[in-house]
Amino acid sequence: MRVWLDDTRQAPPGWMRCRTPDEVIGLLQTGEVQEMSLDHDLGLSDGEREMTGYDVLVWIEQQVVLEDFTPPIIHVHSSNPAARQRMIAAIAAIERLHNQNCRP
């Protein structure tokens, strides 16, 4: 499954569109997500803070460390330059952690 997280842009053909981080995390928990692309700014709030595509990356990183989770291929399509760089750095950290876990 290919997952597209975005509140405004339509998913490309063959991708499942999600509008919230919780939707994406629910799909990740099924183990069927092979690839995903994340937007950062989703126009969402839980009343205390903004919810963003970065929240998905935080969840993945925790699962890699705590549960030996194998992350899918991750892309970022956010047009927010600062958030995009932060998300790319998080993806690199996830890949490093996963690779460390895979060593014999």
pLDDT in tens, 13-71: 999 999 999 999 999 999 999 999 999 988 766 767 788 999 999 999 999 999 989 99
Look-up of token digits 């499954």:
1
Please give the tally of structural domains in the chain.
1
Residue 20: predicted pLDDT: 93
Whole-angstrom CA distances from 39 to 24, 61, 99 are: 12, 17, 25
The tally of CA atoms less than 13 A away on the side-chain side of residue 1 is 16
- The predicted model scores a pTM of 0.92
Residue 52: domain span:
2-102
The domain that holds 29 is classified in CATH as: 3.40.50
- Three-state secondary-structure class, residue 28: helix
